[in-house]
Amino acid sequence: MSFPTLQNDTFLRACRRQATDYTPLWMMRQAGRYLPEYKATRAQAGSFMGLATNVDFATEVTLQPLERFPLDAAILFSDILTVPDAMGLGLHFVEGEGPRFERTAADEASIGTLQVPDLEKLRYVFDAVTSIRHALQGRVPLIGFSGSPWTLACYMVEGGSSSDYRKVKSLMYARPDLMHHLLAVNADAVAAYLNAQIDAGAQALMIFDSWGGVLADSHFRHFSLQYTARVLAQLQRVGPDGQDVPRIVFTKGGALWLQEMGALDCEVLGLDWTANLGKARALVGGGAGTPGKALQGNLDPNVLFAPPAVIEQEVQRVLDDFGTPHTDSSVVGSTHIFNLGHGISQFTPPEHVAVFVDAVHRLSRQVRHSN
């Protein structure tokens, strides 16, 4: 499979801890409801799943933010719950409530029958990856993604979103054996799913451990981190174009476990806004020529509701928190990928996003030229 030559590899170089001319930037949920053009395409598709399962629509909305903003990466438009949907749980979206499953995996009978799904049921995702990769024409790299085994388990047991995680935690404490079985199936399914995305053309991968931070300290290691590691151990390292495929792990609320996450077999750790980038860099960033993780994050998404001058101040603060960037092209070193600390809000004014993107690129260049 051949794809257009990549023109802007700044994001991938930062993932590899190589020096860059500026700090690359992309946003979680960058293709989404804050854009009027997304809403128009979504209305045309008729439903969220109608959008996600249609290759042309998924390609269109993935590229929409890149038409507006000079972002340094695209991320596949899809949903983390496609995997449990393919396991037979029946995913649908309720207006104003979010994702819901028709069936749950919450007891011995339902969990015992779970299997890694037939990947042909997810063919629409892989076809979208290939379509998007071609449509990008090498402009920027394409990121594929999945939910973490624990995060998927939360939705599968609860039947949808939860405010207290009562059902999934009750199962975890009462029947840890069942929870470990569920997580093992999820991990193997996620690994197969991500490998198929690599085969289809994804140039980097991200694992969203969106609910890892709700776990108690000891249980995070046993029920989240262990199974994220199981996914990473199974991932292909090289894509169809012969290039390595960097792996990003993002745990919302995960700053408490940065040291433990530093041992994961991945290239990048994503941080939410509760983490301090400077402290994270000292802990897991590594020095020039030494092993470490690239860091991704971590502006509070609500900053984008502030006036433009405040957005610039907060961008500068995040850059200052990270510190002087690695600039020696002869060795690897500590690098930063700018992102929000979680997904962009649907209410964000697009003109504020333009201010944000410009500020990151402009101010990060100034930091390098002043040192």
Q: Specify binding-site residues for substrate.
A: 29-33, 79, 155, 210, 342
d(CA 178, CA 337) in angstroms, rounded, equals 38
DSSP 3-state of 173 = helix
Please state the residue numbers annotated as binding site: 29-33, 79, 155, 210, 342
* Positions marked active-site: 29, 33, 42, 79, 155
Burial class (CB in 10 A: 0-12, 13-18, 19+), 194: buried
Q: What is the mean pLDDT of residues 106-134?
A: 97
Single pTM value for the model: 0.97
Domain extents in the chain: 10-369
Residue 14: Cβ-neighbour burial (10 angstroms; 0-12, 13-18, 19+): buried
What pLDDT is attached to residue 270? 98
More reliable by pLDDT, 2 or 125 = 125
pLDDT digits (tens, 9 = 90+) for 30-46: 999 999 999 999 999 99
The pLDDT of residue 211 = 94
Give me the percent of the chain exceeding a pLDDT of 90: 92
Share of the chain above pLDDT 70, in %: 99
State the pLDDT confidence band at 212, using cuts at 50, 70 and 90: very high
Averaged confidence pLDDT in the chain: 96
Residue by residue, DSSP assigns 224-268 as IIHHHHHHHHH--SB-TTS-B--EEEEETTGGGGHHHHTTSS-SE
pLDDT over threshold 90, residue 90: yes
Nearest Cα neighbor of 241 from 95, 134, 84 is: 134
Q: Is 31 in contact with 37 (CB distance < 8 Å)?
A: no
User: What pLDDT band is residue 196 in, cutting at 50, 70 and 90?
Assistant: very high
Pick the range with the lowest mean pLDDT from 51-65, 122-136, 155-169: 155-169
Q: Band of the pLDDT at 97, cuts 50, 70, 90? A: confident
Q: What is the mean pLDDT of residues 160-177?
A: 94
pLDDT at 250: 98
pLDDT for 160: 85
pLDDT reading at 321 higher than 70:
yes
Interatomic CA distance for residues 38 and 124, integer angstroms: 19
Report the helix count and the strand count for the chain, using DSSP H and E.
Answer: 16, 9
Task: With a cut of 90, say whether residue 93 has pLDDT above it.
Answer: no
With a cut of 80, say whether residue 152 has pLDDT above it: yes
Mean pLDDT, range 348-364, rounded to an integer: 98
How far apart, in Å, are the Cα atoms of 368 and each of 130, 322, 362? 35, 13, 10
Mean pLDDT for 271-280 is: 97
pLDDT of residue 94: 76
Q: How confident is the model at residue 371 (pLDDT cuts 50, 70, 90)?
A: low
CATH for the 10-369 domain, from 3.20.20.210, 3.30.420.40, 3.40.50.11860, 3.40.50.1950: 3.20.20.210
Burial of 43 (0-12, 13-18, 19+ CB in 10 A): exposed
DSSP 160: B
Rounded Cα–Cα distance for residues 35 and 31 (Å): 8
